[in-house]
Amino acid sequence: MPIFEYSCSSCGHHFEKLQKAGTEPETKCPACGSAEVRKEISTFSGGSAAASPSSASCFSGG
Ligand SMILES: [Zn+2]
């Protein structure tokens, strides 16, 4: 079965879950429990367009 990757928008935790048939893609962050998670697109099967540029972190020095 396909595995979908998720990234928490609250704490930034990265995790993956198995997408079962007949189940909703809704998931929660196992780290903080927030529902603000974003489904990431993993490199599955060929046909990928231009690669996305690496985004630098926007953390301000402290
Ligand atoms: Zn989280």
Give residue-wise pLDDT tens across range 23-43: 776 789 999 999 999 988 766
pLDDT at residue 2 above 80? Answer: no
User: Domain of 36?
Assistant: 3-40
- pLDDT greater at residue 23 or residue 61: 23
Structural domain contains residue 29: yes
Q: Tell me if 26 is assigned to some domain.
A: yes
Convert the pLDDT of each residue in 6-24 to its tens digit: 999 999 999 998 877 787 7
Q: Is residue 34 part of a domain?
A: yes
pTM to 2 decimals? 0.55
Q: 30: CA distance to ligand 1 center in Å? A: 7
Question: Torsion angle, CA of 39/42/46/51, rounded to 10 degrees?
Answer: 90
Residue 8 lies in a domain: yes
Give the total number of structural domains in the chain.
1
> Separation of 13 CA from ligand 1 center, angstroms?
5
Q: Which tokens sit at 53? A: 């540029």
**What spacing in Å lies between the alpha carbon of 46 and ligand 1's midpoint?**
30
Residue 33 lies in a domain: yes
How many other C-beta atoms lie within 10 A of the C-beta of residue 32? 13
